[in-house]
């Protein structure tokens, strides 16, 4: 796209990453090939040396995957994208690029469970140390940094506590220490938040969620703010074999084209559902950035273009009441994940964050009664009616 910076987000989500296909395809074709033919022996040598940007092997690069990488990087306002086979592949690629024996990471204590578990159970075996703090408290982050710290990693809103981290303040702390800030932007997507605009160096996504939006693909993405970090990360992905499949890339790129309108519909419903839950006599508390009762409501308005579609709440009856609620929904699906067209409900303490000890869950604010609700694009009246009948049984 020419002058894409002048175009609106919805226009760019439709057109970014388009390939000028010689056959005239209006959509990006699926280059379902593991390897690519060279024009000559010299051409092959030039491709391997980097003098020619021709394609070699899909683990290294592929036209369909490239198109998706360019599209997401464009929407995030970054230098370049690196697509991976899953969100966890994106996270571990970043970990591998910056961490090693004797190195240290400072991270949020409430974030996607496996992102923490892989650090504590696998990377720790190779001499990597870690500190998990509340990154919404900038002083805690500052106090946790050591001479051997090589990365600050956070996600905002946090999963599943919906805590909001001040990205600009955190980026300033990272850069004062001479280390990169990595932000998981899965909960917002670039439609609602672009961490690079606030100083983040690297953004990661589980594209399984909002970017794909249809609960039928597992995929990840890394976007870097500059060429230096791109050149650090790309070889790690290639050499570790974390690459995406071309057909997988095609499906995500197709889903990306409706990102904004999907989020707008689900977000509008989430506002109404959060207000409904906050007034319900059986609900102890609700955490949603769009509610004035959220302790970081004003910060959310400053760095997010909308409060999003994720809600956490707890029932006055605790875990038992939460289980009855989840066991009695009819329309809403009892399932993990988020960002799809369907509404999902789940129990983080026993599901997505079950590998954390009880003490670590409490430190992160993950109580036994916490329920995480991902709002879909169904009619909001139907979602509320389903919640109402299930709450009556809780």
Give, rounded to a whole angstrom, the gap between the first and last alpha carbons of the chain.
53
The two three-digit tokens of residue 139, written as one number: 């002083």
HSE of 263, CA atoms in CB hemisphere, 13 A: 27
Q: Which two tokens stand for residue 299?
A: 């910060």
Q: Give the CATH number of domain 260-393.
A: 3.90.1150.10
Query: What pLDDT, on the 0 to 100 scale, is given for residue 348?
Result: 79
pLDDT of residue 1: 60
Residue 334 pairs in a beta bridge with 345
Outline which parts of the chain fall under CATH 3.90.1150.10: 260-393
Cα distance between residue 241 and residue 244, in whole Å: 9
d(CA 197, CA 119): 28
Catalytic residue among 184, 201, 245, 386: 184
- Confirm if 115 and 184 have CB atoms less than 8 A apart: yes
For residue 227, what pLDDT is reported? 98
Q: List beta partners, residue 107.
A: 132, 153
Which is catalytic among the residues 12, 209, 265, 271?
Answer: 209
What gap in Å lies between CA 339 and CA 154, rounded to an integer?
Answer: 19
Q: pLDDT tens per residue, the chain (394 residues)?
A: 655 668 999 999 999 999 888 889 999 999 999 999 999 999 999 999 999 999 999 999 999 999 999 999 999 999 999 999 999 999 999 999 999 999 999 999 988 889 999 999 999 999 999 999 999 999 999 999 999 999 999 999 998 899 999 999 999 999 999 999 999 999 999 999 999 999 999 999 999 999 999 999 999 999 999 999 999 999 999 999 999 999 999 999 999 999 999 999 999 999 999 999 999 999 999 999 999 999 999 999 999 999 999 999 999 988 888 889 999 999 999 998 999 999 999 987 777 777 777 777 677 677 777 889 999 999 999 999 999 999 999 8
**Rounded Cα–Cα distance for residues 65 and 250 (Å):** 7
Taking CA 232 as the corner, what is the angle to CA 230 and CA 234, rounded to the nearest 5 degrees? 60
* CA proximity to 205, closest of 62, 365, 71: 71
The answer to whether 184 is a known catalytic residue is: yes
Alpha helix segments (H runs only) across the chain: 9-15, 41-49, 63-76, 87-98, 113-121, 138-144, 167-176, 189-192, 227-240, 246-256, 259-279, 297-303, 318-327, 358-363, 380-393
- Which residue in the block uniquely carries the two structure tokens 């974030």? 111
Instruction: Find all residues with CB under 8 Å of 272, minimum gap 6, and list them.
Output: 380, 384
Q: Which of 46, 59, 324, 368 is catalytic?
A: 59
Distances (CA, A) of 294 to 133, 158, 277, 290: 20, 13, 14, 7
- In this structure, whether the domain defined by 8-256 belongs to CATH 3.40.640.10 is answered with yes
Q: What is the pLDDT of residue 87?
A: 98
Reply yes or no on whether 229 is catalytic.
Answer: no
Choosing from 31, 55, 112, 132, which is the catalytic residue?
A: 112
Q: Is 59 a catalytic residue?
A: yes
How many Å apart are CA 182 and CA 149, to the nearest integer?
Answer: 13
- DSSP summary character for residue 97: H
Is 209 marked active-site?
A: yes
> How distant, in Å, are the alpha carbons of 99, 107, 258, 315 from that of 191?
30, 24, 11, 31
Q: Where in the chain is the domain with CATH 3.40.640.10?
A: 8-256
Q: What is the structure's pLDDT at 2?
A: 55
Half-sphere exposure of 109 (CA within 13 A, CB side): 18
Number of H helices, E strands in the chain: 15, 12
CA-atom Rg of the chain in angstroms: 21
Contact 313, 385 (CB under 8 A): no
């Amino acid at each position: 796209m020419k002058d894409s910076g002048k175009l609106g987000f919805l226009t760019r989500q439709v057109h970014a990453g388009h390939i000028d296909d010689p056959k005239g395809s209006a959509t990006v074709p699926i280059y379902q090939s593991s390897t690519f033919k060279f024009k000559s022996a010299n051409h092959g040598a030039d491709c391997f040396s980097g003098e020619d940007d021709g394609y070699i092997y899909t683990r290294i690069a592929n036209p369909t995957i490239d198109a998706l990488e360019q599209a997401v990087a464009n929407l995030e306002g970054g230098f370049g994208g690196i697509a991976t086979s899953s969100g966890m592949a994106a996270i571990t690629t970043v970990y591998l690029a910056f961490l090693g024996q004797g190195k240290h990471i400072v991270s949020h204590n409430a974030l996607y469970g496996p992102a923490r578990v892989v650090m504590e159970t696998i990377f720790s075996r190779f001499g990597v140390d870690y500190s998990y703090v509340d990154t919404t408290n900038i002083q805690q982050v500052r106090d946790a940094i050591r001479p051997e710290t090589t990365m600050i990693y956070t996600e905002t809103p946090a999963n599943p506590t919906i805590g909001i981290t001040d990205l600009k303040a955190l980026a300033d702390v990272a850069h004062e220490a001479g280390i990169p800030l990595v932000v998981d932007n899965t909960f917002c997507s670039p439609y609602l938040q672009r961490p690079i605009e606030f100083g983040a160096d690297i953004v990661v996504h589980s594209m399984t969620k909002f970017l794909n939006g249809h609960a039928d693909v597992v995929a990840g993405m890394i976007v870097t703010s500059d060429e230096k970090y791109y050149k650090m990360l790309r070889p790690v992905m290639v050499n570790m074999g974390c690459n995406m499949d071309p057909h997988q890339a095609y499906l995500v790129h197709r889903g990306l084209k409706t990102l904004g309108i999907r989020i707008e519909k689900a977000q509008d419903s989430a506002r109404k559902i959060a207000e409904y839950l906050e007034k319900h006599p059986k609900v102890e508390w609700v955490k949603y950035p769009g509610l004035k009762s959220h302790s970081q409501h004003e910060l959310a308005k400053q760095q997010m273009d909308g409060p999003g579609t994720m809600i956490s709440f707890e029932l006055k009856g605790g875990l038992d009441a939460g289980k009855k609620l989840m066991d009695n929904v009819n329309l809403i699906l009892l399932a993990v994940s988020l960002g799809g067209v369907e509404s999902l409900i789940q129990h983080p303490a026993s599901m997505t964050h079950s590998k954390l000890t009880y003490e670590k869950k409490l430190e992160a604010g993950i109580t036994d009664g916490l329920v995480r609700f991902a709002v879909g694009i169904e009619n909001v009246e139907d979602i509320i009616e389903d919640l109402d009948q299930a709450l009556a049984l809780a």
